[in-house]
Amino acid sequence: MTGSDSPDPKDGDGARPRARGLARPGRQDWSAWPEYDAAAEGFRGYWYPVTWSSHVTGKPLAVKVCGEKIALVRDGGRAYALHDRCPHRGVPLSLGDQQFPGTLSCPYHGWTYRLNDGQLCAVITDGPESRICGKVTVRTYPVEERLGMVWVFVPIANEEPHPIDSQLPEELVENQFVMGGRMQERSGNWRFAAENGFDEGHAKYLHRTSMWRMFKPMPTWNITKIVPGGRWIYRVQEEVHWDADFPGVGRWSNKRWWKLQPPKETFNIGNTGKPKKINPVIAKCDFPGFASLSMPGVLRIVYPNFIHYEFYVPVDADNHRYVGVMINFTEGWKAAGFYVKYLGAIRWLFHGQFTGQDAWMVDVTDAPPEKLYRPDVSLTAWRGLAQDEFAKKKAAAGAK
């Protein structure tokens, strides 16, 4: 039995956005990215979507993110997030309810916390002069609402959060858009989900049987490089091969009579033929490549008529929350057309069967150890990005 423990330094030469031999094939462990290796429960210091806004009401809701248990409750139209543990006896505050405006009470003894700062402001069973009031606090988390979702900031230390808009994909901050989406808790570590999302290699093979692929012909193999651009890294295809003859093994192609045939001339956007007219916001996101990734695990796939985003939210070391969103930068009558298309097809074919195949693989991936190959330059570039950005963020949080 042999293994490629002697790496070939020429492999993966095309794309090395960072040093540290990220694309060294045959690598077994993740020691080149120590922060990434340690982030089984996610990178703290970021905003994460935890549920739909409509699910946060006056009745508390328990969620988990980065291994932390959080109680969400809405009061006066605003959403609040508290650490979901009463310091008195450890009972989850999400089992309680609101006895007074602007507060949440523990179900056991009526310890009552202010939603805006977590301070114990009344203890019903200890009377108005309770001496413990003001001496106990539950941790609160900054909350924002964007894209119809509640986002929570999980700090590294006690640092102030950065503005959520500086973390959202830029095009979602200033433009009008319509959207459809799905949110699911899935088994498997969030890093496998993020790596799967940006992974150059698998889409052409794993998804060959998905109905979604009827409308989007896929090559057999590509030569790809990774190009950094602002907060994002982009997958850029240098060569696209529709068929291949594998020596001593046989011929393989993704082409089928029931799928769309490959375009004569491939346009950047998703290997598709050049469309007649492209929304300028979408066109901008397509350069230099149609697939891009940014911290803390946000994938952007540009299609001619919409953009698909995936947010990989750490729940704990064994589970993640998959948030898939399809967005079009349009308004008025055209918005109605988008919803028809989304609800009639995209939701089922793409956010259903197609990403279900991804969920299957994320669940069974088991690495390290691992052996990387040329297309895994997309994985190693992402790990390098995550390593560097988080190291900077950690240093900044510690300095405050």
Which of 114/285 has CB closer to a copy of itself? 114
* CA 340 to chain CA centroid, nearest Å: 26
DSSP E strand stretches across 131-220: 140-141, 143-146, 149-154, 178-187
Binding-site string for a copy of itself from residue 134 to residue 173, where x marks contact by CB under 8 A and - marks none: -xxx-x------------------x---------------
Nearer to a copy of itself, 330 or 357 (CB): 357
Q: First CA to last CA across the chain, in angstroms? A: 53
Binding mask 16-55 for a copy of itself (x = CB under 8 A): ---------xx-----------------------------
Q: Does 249 bind a copy of itself (CB under 8 A)?
A: yes
Q: Which among 344, 350, 341 has a CA at the least distance from the CA of 322?
A: 350
Which residue has 């490959």 as its token pair? Answer: 262
Asked if 121 touches a copy of itself (CB under 8 A), the answer is yes
Cα dist. 154→44, 66, 67, 157, 244 in Å?
A: 5, 8, 10, 9, 47
The helix-helix angle for 377-399 and 190-198 (nearest 10°) equals 130
Q: What is the Cα–Cα distance from 202 to 213, expressed in whole angstroms?
A: 13
Count residues contacting a copy of itself (CB under 8 A)?
73
Q: Which residue, among 306, 361, 360, 366, has the nearest Cα to 337 in the 3D structure?
A: 306
Should residue 125 be labelled a site residue for a copy of itself when binding is judged by CB under 8 A? yes
Judged by CB under 8 A, the chain residues 216 through 245 that form the site for a copy of itself are: 220-221, 223, 241, 244-245
Q: Minimal distance in Å, beta carbon 360 to a copy of itself?
A: 8
Instruction: Please select the residue that binds a copy of itself; options are 107, 228, 273, 352, rule is CB under 8 A.
Output: 107
Task: State the Cα–Cα distance between residues 259 and 136, nearest whole angstrom.
Answer: 63
Binding status of residue 334 toward a copy of itself by CB under 8 A? no
**Residue 379: its H or E element:** helix 377-399
Distance CA 199, CA 40 (A): 19
- Which of these segments, 49-57, 121-129, 326-334, 338-346, binds a copy of itself (CB under 8 A)? 121-129
Identify the residue among 16, 20, 24, 88 touching a copy of itself (CB under 8 A).
88
375 lines the binding site for a copy of itself (CB under 8 A) = yes
Contacts of a copy of itself in 191-210 (CB under 8 A): 201-202, 204-206
Phi first, then psi, for residue 361 (nearest 5°) are -70, -40
Of 261-269, 272-280, 346-354, 358-366, the window that binds a copy of itself (rule: CB under 8 A) is 358-366
Binding to a copy of itself (CB under 8 A): which residues in 265-324? none
Q: Which of 364, 395, 399, 400 binds a copy of itself (CB under 8 A)?
A: 364
74, 374, 383, 393: residue in contact with a copy of itself (rule CB under 8 A): 374
339 binds a copy of itself (CB under 8 A): no
Give the single-character DSSP code of 288.
S
**Looking at beta carbons only, is 90 or 332 nearer to a copy of itself?**
90
Coil, helix or strand at residue 315? strand
Residue 346 has which token pair?
A: 């995209």
Is 359 a binder of a copy of itself (CB under 8 A)?
no
Give the total residue count for the chain. 400
Q: How far apart are CA 23 and CA 382, in angstroms?
A: 11
